[in-house]
Amino acid sequence: MLQLVSFLLAVLPTAAWCYRALLVDIPWRPGEVTGMVFGLSVSAIAALSLVLVRKGKFRPASHALLAVFAATVIPAYLVAGFGGQRFEQPVLAIWMAIAALAVGRVALWLMFLCIAAAFGLGIAVDIGKQGKAVELLGDAAFSMAIFLMIAVVLDRSSVALRESLREAQTRGDALDVANRRLKEEMAERERTFAQLVQAQKMEAVGRLASGGAHDFGNVLSVAGGYVRRGLHSGGEAQMRESLVGIDSAVSRANLLTRRLLSLVRQEEGVEEWFDPGEALTALIPMIRQLMGPDVRVEVTLNENLPSIFFDRMQFDLMILNVVANADHAMPDGGCFSLRARRNGSRLVLDLADTGAGMEDDVLAHLFEPFFTTKPRGQGSGLGLSVVRDLLQRAGGTVSAESSARIGTTISMRFADDLAEVSEARAESC
């Protein structure tokens, strides 16, 4: 706004005086040339103010304009009189607008008083020269009334504008605070979710460790048998065979240890493209270990499975969570099947058990946090909720079908491109 006003002040007085000098066929009144000099001086200061505004120096620009106005308007009317400044009077309203909008109410009324004083002194000069007191005083009173109305309108408008600006600033500050709180809540949500995932990892590790203890016992028994056999061997060939057996047993023990450590590590998720068939093949020993001895495990991996963009550890965790639920649903044994298939360009995993199944009212709450049908202390109700959240964050979906006394099937559908993953990530935040 100040830039526009400075431009107008630089142009309008110059244009007005050019019009007066070139197009008005009226003799120059006494002092009118002096008024023109003052007006053009103000236009020059306005041009300088325009340069300051363009450089971002708003306050110096407005103060410079008002100071020059106050310093020139009264001398101009003293020299030229009221009539000699008639062409300049419309421009005076611009000065009042600058004072009201750029500085404040006090500056506005100071400008009005300055104009009133200039009008009074100009009328006094004209009366002294012309002697037409009544006519000149009436003209001055009419002009003063007009400028008073302009001052009142500018005063109320500037007050309303400043109140609106304060309210907008207050709302802006409140929005900034709310935005910061929202970011903090989002960060806290991410931390809480990461802790929840880690807790699920630890729960899976506990389940694996309980079965792993038996496997470690078997490994140690095998290794011990080879050691005893080597100690009683009578030849180098038997000793070498025993050492090979020990090495194989140690390799199995290392494999079990690495699987447990890969789950227990609390690391930042690393999303990457990987082959789900390869990942599921590596999980088969863990799946068999989690299932009871009376549960038959069937894994079907169709050919040409699409790669997926996912966190590998979280992928393993989701599968193990569903496997654990299936195991709990079949305490007397049964069959667990895992089928990986392609649906268009998407990967779909169907994990089915032949357990007790669920009624519709239970199935409706299956993926809700803390919902569980297990006795108190035997389940957190978070396993399938974590599965749903992890899939949704990666642009996938999960659904369940179940029938009482027949079994349950959990179907996971994964995103097929990074655009879906990014969109889902933005929505989850």
For residue range 257-288, what is the model confidence (pLDDT) as tens digits? 665 565 555 455 678 899 999 999 988 877 88
CB 358 within 8 A of CB 424: no
Res 374: pLDDT: 62
Q: How far apart are CA 298 and CA 338, in angstroms?
A: 6
Q: List the beta bridge partners of residue 400.
A: 410
Residues of the chain with pLDDT under 70: 1-3, 5, 30-31, 34-35, 131, 133-134, 193, 196-230, 232-235, 238, 241-242, 244-246, 248-269, 370-383, 418-429
Scan for tokens 């169709």, then name that residue: 302
pLDDT of amino acid 336: 96
Dig out the tokens for 314 from the structure: 């979280």
Tell me whether residue 402 is exposed, middle or buried, using C-beta atoms within 10 angstroms of its C-beta: 0 to 12, 13 to 18, 19 or more. buried
Pairwise CA distance, residues 87 & 32, whole Å: 10
Residue 298 bridge partners (DSSP):
337
Locus of tokens 């300049």: 88
Residues 60 and 58: their CA atoms lie apart, in Å, by 6
Beta bridge partners of 347: 342
The whole-number pLDDT of residue 144 equals: 84
CA 92, CA 88: separation in Å to the nearest integer? 7
Tell which residue, 225, 224, 242, has the closest CA to residue 233: 242
Closest to 287 in 3D by CA, of 246, 236, 326, 231 = 326
